[in-house]
Each structure stands twice: as C-alpha cells, then as structure tokens.
Amino acid sequence: MFTTGNNSPDPSDYMKTYTCASIPQKSNNWSGDNYSRYCNPEYDRLWQQSTQELDPEKRRQLFIKMNDLLVNNFIVIPLVHRADVVGISNTLQGFELSPWERNTWNIKDWKRD
C-alpha cells in the first residue's frame, strides 16, 4: 500500500504530482513524483488553470474536479484521514506536521526559544 498526502494547506504542489510532466522519465532526468504514471490531458488542463486562478472559490472548484478525476479513475483510493488536534507554542522551533506520521515524529529536532 502506498501512502501519500499533502504537506501544505494549499493543494497545488500535491496535485501537481499527478500531472503528465511529473512522470519520472528520461526528459526530466527521472526526477518526477508521479509514481502512478497517471497522464490525463484534462487533469493537466485543470491543474494549469488552478495555477492562474486568483478567485479562491473558483480555484477550490478546480481542485475538486481534479480530485474527482483521480478518484473516479482509481488513481487515488482514499482509505483513511488521520486528523489530529494540535496546540503549538510560539516559542517551539522545529515542530513539523506530517500527513502520514504522528505529531511527535521529529521530536528530536524540537527546541524552545
């Protein structure tokens, strides 16, 4: 099972992962993140529109359409969402959230001002 998720409140970087140009291939020196090798011109068109759209609601709708393509084509099969409630001190440094790890995954890097 492959686990993945967004590491930012903005879905743009995560959704870019599923564009045709992000498929690891010789032309990009095998550096793409699209391990599923999903390539859909409609998805790419929606992603490109999302990078140019300034209206937050229209942009949100574009991401919903992109998500629907991924789910309806069985590229992504959502199984679980690990929701946590977290309180963070303004003096805590090194704390990083991760969509697939516990909140204390990098506790060794934490320090206070």
Residue 111 belongs to what H/E stretch?
strand 111-112
Q: What is the DSSP letter of 101?
A: S
Instruction: Note the pLDDT of residue 52.
Output: 97
How confident is the model over 5-49, as pLDDT tens digits? 777 788 999 999 999 999 999 999 999 899 899 999 999 999 999
Distance of CA 56 to the CA centre of its chain: 17
Residue 52 lies inside a defined structural domain of this protein: yes
Instruction: Note the pLDDT of residue 3.
Output: 67
Are 63 and 87 in the same domain? no
Are 14 and 56 in the same domain? yes
Taking 80 as the threshold, does the pLDDT of residue 61 lie above it? Answer: yes
> How many residues can be counted in the chain?
113
Place of tokens 């590229």: 75
Q: How many domains does the chain have?
A: 2
Domain residues for the domain of 57 are 9-79
Instruction: Note the pLDDT of residue 79.
Output: 78
Q: What is the DSSP letter of 92?
A: E
Instruction: Note the pLDDT of residue 21.
Output: 95
Q: Whole-angstrom Cα distance, residue 56 to residue 41?
A: 23
- DSSP reduced 3-state for 49: helix
Are 22 and 63 in the same domain? yes
Residue 2 lies inside a defined structural domain of this protein: no
